[in-house]
Homo-oligomer: A and B are copies of this chain.
Amino acid sequence: MSPVKRLSTPPKQPPSKSTAAGRAPVTLRDIASVVGVSPSAVSMALADHPRIGRATKDAVRTAARELGYVANSAGRALRAGRATAVAVVVPNTAQHVFGHPYFMHLLVGVTSSANAHDSGLLVSTNPDQSHEVAAYDRILRSQTAAGAIIASAASNDANVSRMVDTGLPVVLVGRYPHLPQAVSVGVDDHAGAAAVTRHLVADHGLRRIGHISGPLEHQTALDRYEGFRAALAECAEPCAHTLAIGDFSEEAGRAGAAQLLDGMSDLQAIFAANDEMAYGALLELRSRGLRVPQDIALVGYDDFGVSRLTSPALTTVRVPAEQLGLHAADRLFDLIDGVAGEVTHTELPTELVVRESCGEHPAPTAAPTVTGTTAATG
């Protein structure tokens, strides 16, 4: 068509360079014929096998680099009996219950670990619950992934225990008390919720507090609720508390706030189990003409980046989702490599992030309060 080609790039197809960008993938055989040895020798040289001579290894590695050799993952996986990629499984139920930001942060963490391990990352969500055989089920059984990280919602999700039972390396994100043998990584929601509750009680002297929880069949929601109650119980003076059950959505936060306000007179503070419900609560408070924090204090949980955008900026508990993903992936690679380890459940610390939604904090706290233990044996 055009009389002049790109430049420097000669006619692509035919005699071709030996560099990289060409069409046909480079195989061991290509390297073998360049170096003048057998494909087996090339394989062994690249694996640094002791029975291959120094000179041959050098020649092979040079040729591999020049040809731009990348091992065909299918061939390798077939021979090895397992793939190199790992999968992240997000059941659709989880997608709805948690928000998108959580998974994105998680993914970023998992990705960086996968990159460090030279490993691909498969992402699978369940298309619809009517499907008897879930998408991830197929992925795992087709040996596409060497292991899986599962971020599930319901603590009694049958799919989770089924997955754990397959014997495939699996790391769960979250806390699974009824699957004590499973490897899992989570945060100490109990401690985080207790910390933010204590902030309300101890730092601000509030005594009449309502909690908007998530669905209590979800471990996360339950832990946050129980952390809330535990913190109140340890309080010297009596504290009045009340509960509204939501589903982590903004709308549920709005409804929950309405329920709390109607149910308890002179409510002084609301602790929403996640930031999104806190926003909903904020809207409800505002529509009733209540000012935050002057008339009522408000705190959330998660801190996935938007909490600082509201007015007032929301005091909340930071969940280190990215670290969570990183850790989960690291644990998974350990499992895949057969590094057992005693620890089944790892807990990452949460951090209380004080902003404006409780008012000026009278007690000048030094460092940010970090809560949470690090490990538990199973």
Chain B residue at smallest Cβ distance from A141: B70
**Copies of this chain, tallied across the complex:** 2
How far does the Cβ of A277 sit from chain B's closest Cβ, in whole Å?
12
Please tell me if the beta carbons of A120 and B141 are within 8 angstroms of each other in the complex.
no
Please tell me if the beta carbons of A21 and B162 are within 8 angstroms of each other in the complex.
yes
Please tell me if the beta carbons of B115 and A104 are within 8 angstroms of each other in the complex.
no
Chain B residue at smallest Cβ distance from A99: B305
Q: Note all chain B residues with C-beta closer than 8 A to A73.
A: 74, 77, 83, 142-144
Chain B residue at smallest Cβ distance from A77: B74
Given A21-B165, A120-B124, A141-B25, A72-B68 contact (CB < 8 Å): no
Q: Mark A331-346, 1 if CB is under 8 A from B, else 0.
A: 0000000000000000
Q: Note all chain B residues with C-beta closer than 8 A to A122.
A: 85, 120-123
Q: Note all chain B residues with C-beta closer than 8 A to A139.
A: 120
Given A101-B101, A135-B115, A167-B23, A70-B123 contact (CB < 8 Å): no
Whether, in the assembled complex, A310 has its beta carbon less than 8 Å from a beta carbon of chain B, the answer is yes
Interface size for chain A: under 10, 10 to 19, 20 to 34, or 35 or more residues?
A: 35 or more
Cα distance A21–B133 in the bound complex, in angstroms: 12
Whether, in the assembled complex, A264 has its beta carbon less than 8 Å from a beta carbon of chain B, the answer is no
Please tell me if the beta carbons of B127 and A124 are within 8 angstroms of each other in the complex.
no
Please tell me if the beta carbons of A74 and B78 are within 8 angstroms of each other in the complex.
yes
Please tell me if the beta carbons of A115 and B125 are within 8 angstroms of each other in the complex.
yes
Cα distance A124–B162 in the bound complex, in angstroms: 28
Please tell me if the beta carbons of A123 and B125 are within 8 angstroms of each other in the complex.
no
Chain B residue at smallest Cβ distance from A275: B309
Given A115-B135, A142-B72, A309-B279, A121-B120 contact (CB < 8 Å): no
How far does the Cβ of A32 sit from chain B's closest Cβ, in whole Å?
18
Q: Which residues of A approach B to under 8 Å, CB–CB?
A: 21, 23, 25, 68, 70-75, 77-78, 83, 85, 95, 100-101, 103-105, 107-108, 111-112, 115-116, 118, 120-125, 127, 135, 138-139, 141-144, 162, 165-167, 250, 279, 286, 305-306, 309-311
Counting from the closest, the 4 A-B pairs by CB-CB distance are A74-B77, A70-B141, A74-B78, A115-B127
Q: Can you list 11 contacts pairing A with B, beta carbon distance less than 8 Å?
A: A21-B162, A21-B166, A23-B167, A25-B143, A72-B143, A73-B83, A100-B101, A112-B127, A115-B125, A120-B139, A310-B310
